[in-house]
Amino acid sequence: MKNSISLIIADDHEIFRDGLALMLAKQDTVQLVGQAGDGQELLRLVDETRPTMVLTDIKMPRMDGIAATRLLLQRHPELKIIALSMHEEEDLVVEMLEAGARGYLLKHADKKEILEAILTVEAGNIYYCKHTTANLAALIVKSKFDSQKKAPSALFTAREKEIIRLICRQHTAQEIGELLFLSKRTVEGYRTRILEKMDVKNTAGVVIFALKHNIIREEEIG
């Protein structure tokens, strides 16, 4: 598996770790090289195995994911880290991104999203969980985290900006089409181009980009 992504899972819940490990073991693109039950064990395993990527819980005993992320990236700047979080940990997700994580997932994310996050981060991009709330998006925009997106809002046409605002308000392609007198297929074409221009994978990424570049205001999506 020369081209596989070597990966370590860190979480203090053994049943969750084992379930995730079982799922990843079936993927040709991922090679699981270790499991850690706390932040200190994670540091030791990364030093020993030098993985490509780490999936780590934020709240862990002995050393949490935020402190571990800071130390790991001091020792291994090339390491890619994805945070695993619960719904109520939005402030901690922001801290993880500021510490250097390149993406985050809710723990109940499905297999498809977990793999998409791994491949997105491996490719050098940021992964925003598709269940990102408007509040979390706003917190990320206001934080010190910089996703280094280079595309300014000027790259978007007036029609694209109109569609971006409606996407941010959680309208479906069908609903957007009805509002703008466009076919669903036309709207889907616009959405694909918008995601490509923003270099994001889902609606959460669109919302964060739109807020950061003042295409929409926080109060418009609350």
CA-based torsion, 152, 174, 129, 49: positive or negative: negative
C-alpha span between 128 and 137 (Å, rounded): 9
pLDDT tens figures, 138-191: 999 999 887 755 556 568 999 999 999 999 999 999 999 999 999 999 999 999
C-alpha span between 30 and 32 (Å, rounded): 6
| Domains recognised in the chain with CATH numbers | 5-130 (3.40.50.2300), 153-220 (1.10.10.10)
pLDDT of residue 89: 87
> What's the predicted TM-score (pTM) here?
0.87
Contact between 88 and 99 under an 8 Å Cβ cutoff? The reply is no
Contact between 57 and 82 under an 8 Å Cβ cutoff? The reply is no
C-alpha span between 210 and 160 (Å, rounded): 11
Report the SS3 class of residue 55.
Answer: strand
Taking the CA of residue 72 as centre, how many other CA atoms within 13 Å lie in the half-sphere pointing to its CB?
36
